[in-house]
Amino acid sequence: MKRSEINHLMMEAKEFFHQCHFHLPPWAFWSPSDWKDKYETCSEIIDHQLGWDITDFGRNDFSKYGLLLFTIRNGSLEKGTKKYSEKVMIVNEEQVTPLHFHWSKTEDIINRGGGNLMMELYLADNNDHLTEKSFTISMDGITRNLNAGDKLTLTPGESITLVPFLTHLFYGEKGKGKVLVGEVSSVNDDKTDNCFIDEVGRFPLIDEDEEPLHLLVSDYPNYI
């Protein structure tokens, strides 16, 4: 991805957050120079990968395959008392986050507003393969029985609990507008706890055609 594209997506995201009355922490808007000599006081942000995260999953077509996330809080399995995580995401119409599951993380995916979030669900086995098994899910505390490949629509205010090995793909419903999506989960580790059914690139290679507007979590090692 080009840095200019990432900067533009950040500007669009900030406007959408504003429209939805969703507020990010003040450091979300720091410039790269604002981070200088901040590690001592901001180590939790940096070490736990809080902040901006934009990916095209290695497909080089963000409008079709992509996701913009901001990790607001995240703990650590190794140290500390915070054993939970929270993210906010923006999902565009027909913009796919490919099929994947987590070996360890349990998460609630919440439609916080905007359009409708479409989900396709399968159950994976212990060999990381999709199965044709039926399964039970919880949506806002109400159980539902589903078959492999069933599709769900999450309207604003609705949520689903995704347990380990529950494989999911999601995108915004065509004609309904972009979706503000929340995620509340156990500790998040994007480096070791994501299993994508098809090979993807989780963090993009960046063509530095201009200076960063704000740092991505993948930028921290190079700037701080």
pLDDT above 90 (res 80): no
Q: Over pLDDT 70: what percentage of the chain?
A: 100
pLDDT above 80 (res 79): no
| CATH of region 3-223 | 2.60.120.10
Q: Mean pLDDT over residues 207-212, rounded?
A: 96
Sorted by sequence, the CB contacts under 8 Å of residue 74 that are 6+ apart come out as: 48, 49, 50, 82, 85, 86, 187, 188
Q: Over pLDDT 90: what percentage of the chain?
A: 92
Q: How many CB atoms lie within 10 A of CB 197?
A: 16
Model-level pTM? 0.95
pLDDT above 80 (res 207): yes
pLDDT above 80 (res 170): yes
The angle formed by the CA atoms of residues 123, 126 and 130, to the nearest 5 degrees, is: 35
Per-residue tokens: 141:
């505390």
Per-residue tokens: 186:
């156990």
Residue 61 is predicted with a pLDDT of: 94
Q: Mean pLDDT over residues 48-71, rounded?
A: 96
